[in-house]
Amino acid sequence: MTEWLATAIGNVARINPPKPKYSELHDDDLVGFVPMAAVNEVSGEISVVDKRPLGTVRAKSYRTFAPGDVLFAKITPCMENGKSATVPELPNGHGFGSTEFHVLRPSSDIDAEYLWNFLRQKTYRAEAENHMTGSVGQARVPASFLRDSVIPLPPIPEQRRIVEYLASVNDCTRLAAEHLAEARRIVNSANRSLYHSACTGRLTEGWRRENADGADGEIPAGWKTVRIKDIAECLDRLRKPVNNAERAKRKQIVPYYGANGQVGWIDEALFNEPLVLVVEDETFTGRTKPFSYLISGPSWVNNHAHVLRAGDEVSPEALNILLSFYDFIPLTSGSTGRRKLNQRSLLEAELLLPPVLEQQEIVRRVDEGLQNMEQIRDQLDRVTSMLGRTVQAAATKMFRRDLVTPAEVAE
């Protein structure tokens, strides 16, 4: 293997080069413009280059750069999040961008992508964070840190082999991440399917064959059609909204619930029993969350959720399962963005009610299924986290020369 040198970045790249004269351009000629938001912190790519007339930007204090330069965000939290990129082709070969970028212009001794990969390491960004100056929320990496940072410097052909290898690692990781995201979508879809099968009787079809009298007809054996008002009491008259400012004055000891779950705390309880809360006015169209959820113990509920107390024919747990993904949308009124399910429509809604013993089996199976899906999500999260660490580990080892490219092995 060839010997690697080590040198300060300032010896092989110019930091924040001066603004060019633009003598060959006119004010109406287009140039590129890159705001901070255009740099993808995950991929390290510039998502889009805006085009602006030179005359609208040349007199302002924007950073200037050219194709092949490397942009490095200097301000928190953009730097820590990894906002850096190599500059692509630009209109008329000139670009302007956020003043919160440092611009590094590589010399012929260093490949731009090699420099970018080095700056992008988490270990490097962590070190840069330790050298930030300025007030909290406005801290910035000084140009001197970049200039004085020591970088390993193999010959250009070897730099390019390293860039190609890290690109292949990134490509494999990106593909794996896409597969993991698809797996998560499948799990989330299975969540809704689990509830649907519970509410239609498919989940306990085998259980009925072993335990119930009679065979399934149009509806499962032993099930019956009921209205919600037949099996549950509505307690909406007892709920009471309290705004944030008022709640802040009180002790924070009792959960305060709204349409989508707990939204705060309050000092006393309106209820103290198992209840099913159903969305009253929130997002209905395109909703992925359940329409209902179960609460128990001391609680306070505002006026964005209907409050149901399960009757003798249904358990609170079973009622929640039956309502979680009920098709309430046709029963709602109002605009698409903020539809409302009024109390009358809720209570008149019909559903299929299984016998109490089968309800218990449904609750058990749904709980078991949800636990299994949560375990799968945890595993997907761990693998996704491992992917990110794999890319960083490969880069770190490569720059330390603890890892060699396949081309080096072949040599």
What is the span of the domain harbouring residue 404?
155-214+357-411
Give the residue from 304, 336, 353 where a domain finishes.
Answer: 353
State whether 18 and 72 are in the same domain.
yes
Residue 36 DSSP SS3: helix
For residues 367-372, average pLDDT:
96
Calpha distance 399→397 (Å, rounded): 6
Q: How many Å apart are CA 252 and CA 265, to the nearest integer?
A: 5
| Assigned token pair, 206 | 């085998």
Residues 173 and 145 in one domain: no
Tell me whether residue 148 is in a domain.
yes
| Whether the model pTM is above 0.75 | no
Q: What percent of the chain has pLDDT over 90?
A: 81
- Answer yes or no: do 265 and 316 share one domain: yes
Q: Is 352 helix (H, G, I), strand (E, B) or coil?
A: strand
Residues 233 and 324 in one domain: yes
The Cα-based distances of 20 to 59, 66, 96, 312, 354 in angstroms read 12, 10, 11, 81, 77
Looking at every residue in the chain, the average pLDDT score rounds to 92
H helices of 33-111, in order, are: 78-81
Q: Is residue 219 part of a domain?
A: no
The pLDDT value given to residue 404: 55
**178 in a domain, yes or no?**
yes
pLDDT digits (tens, 9 = 90+) for 325-347: 999 999 998 876 678 999 999 99
Do 280 and 363 fall within a single domain? no
Q: pLDDT tens digit string along 186-198?
A: 998 998 999 999 9
> From CA 318, how far away is CA 328, in angstroms rounded?
18
Same domain, 136 and 82: yes
pLDDT of residue 31: 97
Lowest average pLDDT, out of 87-96, 158-167, 279-288, goes to 279-288
pLDDT tens-digit series, residues 121-169? 999 999 999 999 998 788 999 999 999 999 999 999 999 999 999 999 9
Tokens linked to 90:
């630009």
Q: What is the C-alpha separation between 190 and 178, in angstroms, rounded?
A: 18
pLDDT computed for residue 24 by the predictor: 93
With b for 16 or more beta-carbon neighbours within 10 A and e for fewer, the 152-177 pattern comes to bbbeeebbebbbebbeebbeebeeee
Domain with residue 265: its CATH number is 3.90.220.20
Residues 262 and 296 in one domain: yes
Please identify, among 305, 331, 353, the residue that sits at the C-terminal boundary of a domain. 353
Residues 293 and 180 in one domain: no
Residue 100 lies in a domain: yes
